[in-house]
Amino acid sequence: MGGTFDPIHDGHLSLARDAKKELSLDAVLFIPAGCPYLKRSRLVADPADRYEMTALAIQDEPDFYISDIEVRREGNTYTADTLEELHGIYPGNHWFFLTGADSYSIMDKWVRPDRIFELSTVVCTARDDIDRDELEILRERYTREYGGESIILNMPQIDLSSTAIREMTAKGESTRGLLPETVRRYIDERNLYRP
């Protein structure tokens, strides 16, 4: 499960738990993006902070792990490169790449999407507010264009986003109950997301 995790919140964790159960996954590997090239339009917290928040969020979750594979990488981080590296480190594993419907809908704009579909089963997690028929059309198009397999999982609607948490923090509003307490304390201690 890749992502900016700026910051990681309960919605991310819920999605990972649901996907692990639904797909009978052995484990979920969280990979915080190092330099997310699609997020250049805004300031992103330091990769080391996002990595640490993710590590804190999953520390008590069985079968949840974290990798610094992208945080260590110089320059932009691309999912295709990450999957190639993971295949080298863990030969023989079958990888599922978990992503949200918003990211899935623009995967054709990612770097080497054909390689992503070749190296993993792409799992699009669709919330109740996303048109399932549109995602099915997109899944068929990706299969034609890139080969590989996509799975569309329906997930419960979670009205929570990293953007909202950053905005609430900047205004001094409480974020209790929206993200793990360890992450909330880390944000306070490091004075993240404040003007």
CATH of the domain at 32: 3.40.50.620
Structure tokens at 42: 């805004």
Taking the model in full, what pTM does it have?
Answer: 0.91
Give Cβ neighbours of residue 110 (< 8 Å, ≥ 6 apart). 38, 78, 79, 80, 116
Asked whether residue 188 carries a pLDDT value surpassing 70, the answer given is: yes
State what percent of residues in the chain have pLDDT above 70. 94
Q: What is the pLDDT of residue 100?
A: 85
Split at pLDDT 50, 70, 90, the class of 116 is: very high
Q: What is the pLDDT of residue 129?
A: 63
Strands 64-66 and 28-32: parallel
Residues 14-60: tens digit of each pLDDT: 999 999 999 999 999 999 998 766 555 457 899 999 999 999 999 99
Domain assignment present for 129: yes
Number of domains composing the chain: 1
Domain assignment present for 135: yes
Between CA 187 and CA 184 the distance in angstroms is: 5
Between CA 71 and CA 135 the distance in angstroms is: 30
Split at pLDDT 50, 70, 90, the class of 190 is: very high
Nearest Cα neighbor of 104 from 133, 135, 148, 76 is: 135
Q: What is the pLDDT of residue 159?
A: 76
Structure tokens at 187: 């944000």
Domain assignment present for 57: yes
Domain that holds residue 71: 2-161
Residues 130-160: tens digit of each pLDDT: 778 889 999 999 999 999 899 999 877 777 8
